[in-house]
Amino acid sequence: MMKIAKDENTNILQMFDTESASESGSWLHLTKPGTDGDLAYADKGTTKPLRIKLKGPDSGTWTSFQRKAMKASGKKDSRTSKEIAREDANLFSRMTLETENIPGYESAAEAALIDMYIKYKDIRIQALKWVMNQENFTQPGESD
């Protein structure tokens, strides 16, 4: 049996640490609704991207949410669309690590983020799609 130095093992196995990558988060650059993925900016140029740094699918926050959803599956869901939107907004506010160039939501204060996610359904949808794609959290992405 070949003996591998500890540093070699640590470096090569780092790619399997999806929990740390998810907890560190990655940047979602919001796109304009109704377009073919046109990136959204706060300015007329392309110097102020509208971005949200989100935790990933192997984060404790998402894993806890998934467990609750699994327990509830099979039960009749009598929540209204407004109640579901509020629950989703609460979840995504906890999943959000930072925001960038989003007018009125520059801080990552939970109450403000809940407000943003409730008001802007398309941001909730983009956040959900981003989190569901694990490659967003395991591949090198946009710089911080």
Q: What is the pLDDT of residues 46-105, one digit of tens each?
A: 899 999 999 998 887 888 887 777 777 777 778 788 988 899 999 999 999 999 999 989
Cβ proximity of 105 and 113 under 8 Å: yes
Specify the higher pLDDT residue, 122 or 61: 122
Average predicted confidence (pLDDT) for the chain? 85
How confident is the model at residue 116, as a pLDDT? 96
How confident is the model at residue 3, as a pLDDT? 47
Segments making up each domain of the chain, as ranges: 20-138
Cβ proximity of 92 and 113 under 8 Å: yes
Cβ proximity of 126 and 28 under 8 Å: yes
Cβ proximity of 105 and 24 under 8 Å: no
How confident is the model at residue 73, as a pLDDT? 72
How confident is the model at residue 2, as a pLDDT? 44
Specify the higher pLDDT residue, 42 or 81: 42
Ranges of H-type helices in the chain: 6-13, 18-24, 60-72, 81-95, 110-119, 121-132, 135-138
Kindly state the average pLDDT of the residues 124-137.
Answer: 94
